[in-house]
């Protein structure tokens, strides 16, 4: 009888408390998201300079390699030596680079602290933080030539990652794709190559025909694929870019900037680091299977840094009559990874020299601290929730870029949890902070977040809890 009376009294008390239960103050939620960037109007160039290269193109054959040929004819040495042995190809390359000095052939041995860049546009970026270490006229719109293909390859890997296509898929070659001029691997109408082979043709030999074949395979037409390229560029914050084609051949309005090239390069190498394996391949053969029969074709990398710079990891060269000589060069030394972009250099050697100067400068200046350790705090208390505790974890990995020569081993970390954590809580909500200091000065923060969601407790949740406690107390 006493137990029944006590239960009735508790129920009455709970109903009286219900008004105040629902009046519990919730903690202000963090405002998420940023306003969408203002849509930019892409400028188009009113006039395009016509470069007379017809006679030069007629003189060049598949076997001729200059190492500095513009992409409007055949870019550098990639994809132009059919039926030659690897030894013969190396001989051709040696002849093409015969004018280099001893200093140029042992690039990267000495750190050059000076940074005088001959090209009109250039930019150096540290990859893990996206910090710009050096820039020179980095926002002027210029034609990028085959550096365009970084975006093409990004969309190809996106399609693979989403499951839309696979590396083993057979890609047919259309008449339009086969008609592409400039640097190419001479794909024939009706021929098929795997997606992986097409990636090799694009990343190693800068093949325009392979680009168009992949664009058509993924999107149905190059036009639709280019729309996706521009959509992707906008999503990455490439504010001064407009693509007109997928391979970088000169076209009115086909422009970007050194900064935007660095942005898309960073996205490609961080999201799909396997690109380095393709971009660092110096020579490889592919096999053409056509109505004429089977024949091997030699791919040779257009990026000389692959062999000449010890810290090189990629990425893409480009040159046309309008663009002159461009490169987005990537390199890594110890824990420091850099992107050096050069646009409109007067010669092939100048673009590589400028890229090396910037990377040597960056490697000499930078050191990176990275904290991937989990939070020491494992769970936190939650008020007014169905559960009283929620497990927590660190958010993004914290990275700090030092350019002052500090002792980064002296960096300290302290965890700070919010005093009041009130339900409802969603997975990923910030519940605390990791604070990083160096020599007593705060250098950065990293979030501690909820590992799961916790719903706000309702009236019946409290009633159930009260009854459970009563029963447990009665048993005691």
Among 406, 432, 433, which Cα is nearest to 420's?
A: 432
Q: Tell me which of 84, 121, 128, 146 is the catalytic residue.
A: 146
Non-local CB neighbours of 171 within 8 Å, separated by 6+ positions: 192, 193, 194, 195, 198, 213, 214, 217
CA dihedral 213, 43, 120, 66 (to 10 degrees): 30
pTM above 0.75, yes or no: no
149 is catalytic: yes
In tens, the pLDDT along 377-433 reads: 999 999 988 888 999 999 999 999 999 999 999 999 999 999 999 999 999 999 999
Q: How much is the pLDDT for 476?
A: 52
Cα–Cα dist 418/432, whole Å:
5
Cα–Cα dist 430/40, whole Å:
33
Cα–Cα dist 444/433, whole Å:
10
Q: Tell me which of 121, 128, 203, 206 is the catalytic residue.
A: 206
Other residues' Cβ atoms within 10 Å of the Cβ of residue 53: 15
Q: Tell me which of 80, 149, 200, 357 is the catalytic residue.
A: 149
Q: How much is the pLDDT for 89?
A: 36
Confirm if 193 and 201 have CB atoms less than 8 A apart.
yes
Confirm if 73 and 182 have CB atoms less than 8 A apart.
yes
In tens, the pLDDT along 428-444 reads: 999 999 999 999 999 99
381 is catalytic: no
Q: How much is the pLDDT for 370?
A: 94
Other residues' Cβ atoms within 10 Å of the Cβ of residue 373: 11
Cα–Cα dist 419/412, whole Å:
22
Q: How much is the pLDDT for 323?
A: 97
Q: How much is the pLDDT for 332?
A: 97
114 is catalytic: no
Q: What percent of the chain has pLDDT over 70?
A: 73
Residue 79 carries which DSSP code? T
Q: In the chain, which residues have pLDDT < 70?
A: 1-114, 461-463, 465-466, 468-469, 472-476
């Amino acid at each position: 009888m006493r137990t029944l009376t006590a239960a009735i009294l508790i129920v009455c008390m709970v109903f009286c408390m219900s008004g105040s239960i629902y009046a519990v103050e919730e903690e202000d939620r963090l405002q998420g998201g940023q306003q969408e960037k203002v849509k930019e109007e892409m400028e188009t160039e009113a006039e395009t300079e016509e470069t007379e290269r017809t006679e030069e193109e007629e003189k060049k054959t598949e076997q001729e390699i200059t190492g500095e040929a513009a992409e409007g004819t055949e870019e550098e040495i990639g994809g132009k030596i059919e039926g030659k042995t690897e030894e013969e190809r190396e001989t051709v390359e040696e002849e093409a680079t015969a004018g280099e000095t001893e200093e140029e052939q042992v690039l990267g041995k000495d750190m050059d602290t000076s940074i005088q860049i001959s090209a009109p546009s250039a930019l150096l970026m540290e990859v893990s933080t996206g910090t710009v270490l050096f820039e020179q006229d980095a926002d002027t719109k210029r034609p990028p030539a085959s550096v365009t293909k970084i975006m093409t390859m990004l969309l190809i890997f996106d399609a693979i990652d989403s499951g839309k296509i696979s590396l083993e898929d057979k890609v047919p070659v259309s008449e339009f794709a086969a008609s592409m001029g400039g640097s190419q691997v001479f794909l024939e109408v009706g021929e098929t190559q795997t997606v992986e082979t097409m990636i090799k043709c694009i990343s190693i030999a800068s093949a325009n025909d392979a680009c168009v074949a992949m664009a058509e395979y993924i999107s149905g037409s190059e036009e639709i694929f280019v729309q996706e390229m521009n959509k992707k560029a906008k999503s990455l914050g490439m504010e001064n870019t407009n693509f007109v084609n997928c391979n970088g051949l000169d076209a009115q309005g086909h422009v970007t900037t050194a900064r935007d090239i660095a942005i898309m390069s960073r996205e490609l190498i961080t999201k799909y680091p396997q690109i380095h394996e393709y971009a660092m391949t110096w020579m490889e053969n592919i096999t053409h299977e056509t109505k004429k029969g089977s024949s091997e074709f030699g791919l040779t990398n257009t990026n000389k840094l692959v062999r000449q710079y010890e810290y090189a990891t990629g990425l893409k060269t480009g040159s046309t009559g309008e663009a002159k000589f461009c490169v987005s060069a990537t390199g890594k030394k110890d824990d420091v990874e850099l992107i050096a972009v050069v646009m409109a250099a007067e010669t092939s050697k100048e673009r590589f020299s400028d890229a090396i100067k910037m990377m040597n400068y960056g490697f000499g200046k930078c050191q990176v601290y990275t904290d991937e350790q989990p939070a020491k705090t494992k769970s936190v208390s939650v008020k007014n929730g169905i559960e009283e505790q929620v497990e927590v974890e660190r958010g993004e990995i914290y990275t700090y870029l030092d350019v002052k020569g500090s002792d980064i081993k002296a960096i300290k970390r302290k965890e700070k949890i919010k005093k009041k954590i009130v339900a409802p809580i969603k997975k990923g909500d910030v519940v605390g902070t990791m604070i990083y200091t160096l020599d007593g000065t705060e250098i950065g923060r990293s979030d501690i977040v909820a590992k799961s969601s916790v719903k706000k407790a309702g009236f019946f949740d409290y009633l159930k809890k009260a009854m459970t406690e009563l029963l447990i107390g009665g048993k005691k």
